[in-house]
Amino acid sequence: MAADETSIKVSTAARDRLAQLAAEHGTTIRSLVEDLAQGTPTQGEYAERAELARAELASALGSAPSPEAEAKAKALLERLGGAAHSSRAAA
What is the pTM (predicted TM-score) of this model?
A: 0.60
Q: For 32-46, what is each residue's pLDDT tens digit?
A: 999 999 999 999 999
pLDDT at position 75 is 93
Report the half-sphere exposure of 5 (CA within 13 A, side-chain side).
Answer: 6
Q: Which residue has the higher pLDDT, 75 or 3?
A: 75
23/3 Cα distance (integer angstroms): 27
Cα(58)–Cα(66) distance, rounded to whole angstroms? Answer: 11
Q: Confirm if 33 and 18 have CB atoms less than 8 A apart.
A: yes
User: 70 or 31: whose pLDDT is higher?
Assistant: 31
Dihedral sign, Cα of residue 24, residue 28, residue 33, residue 37: negative
The end-to-end CA distance of the chain, in Å, is 39
